[in-house]
Amino acid sequence: MGLFDKLKSTKNKITIEQLIVEPYEQKYFNECKFIWKNYIPKSGQSNVLQGELLRDLEKLRFEAQDNGNINWDDDFSYFCEFIRNTLCTKDIFTDEEKNRIVLILDYFKDCGEYAKQWNNGLISDEDVNVDRIAYTKDNLYDVVSDAIGYLQFKITSPISYETNNAIKR
């Protein structure tokens, strides 16, 4: 039984539109709580992969939910790519689970990049689609959070991570 069996589509490939409307209840909340308590410093990056993945995801969630992606910059785009690429290299996930992770993180990045265009005046207030600026519901963030929690569940030892000096957030 895979991590995201509840969301599996039987015949058709799942779409981001389907994922957006699908409620999701976390299964690996306690693992995420453990990561947060043990691997994420009060400030700065984590030197443990599980901690850095969760820290970056929660920065994405906070920026969207609390700020409407008004501060979107290259760091947030990097977080989307880093989480997506890192999780999708892990053999613990099925191809379908990896596809969900890719869809979600690409969607977060698309929203952020759209918000950045609007904030920079490249999209007028009259033409802006407010639904594309930021994804503010918890379900998609919780799916990715669960993937990070599942990584912790499967690999209980801390995975060393070398901090990225180019990241300011």
Question: How do residues 72-83 score in pLDDT, each as one tens digit?
Answer: 999 999 999 999
* ∠ CA 142-52-7, rounded to 5°: 25
Q: What is the pLDDT of residues 134-161, one digit of tens each?
A: 999 999 999 999 999 999 999 999 999 9
Contacts 24+ apart (CB under 8 A), 59-67: 59/169, 60/108, 60/112, 60/141, 61/138, 61/141, 63/112, 63/134, 64/108, 64/111, 64/112, 64/134, 64/135, 64/136, 65/134, 65/136, 67/134
- If one counts every other C-beta atom within 10 angstroms of the C-beta of residue 25, the result is 9
Question: pLDDT per residue over 14-27, tens digit each?
Answer: 999 999 999 999 99
Domain ranges of the chain: 26-154
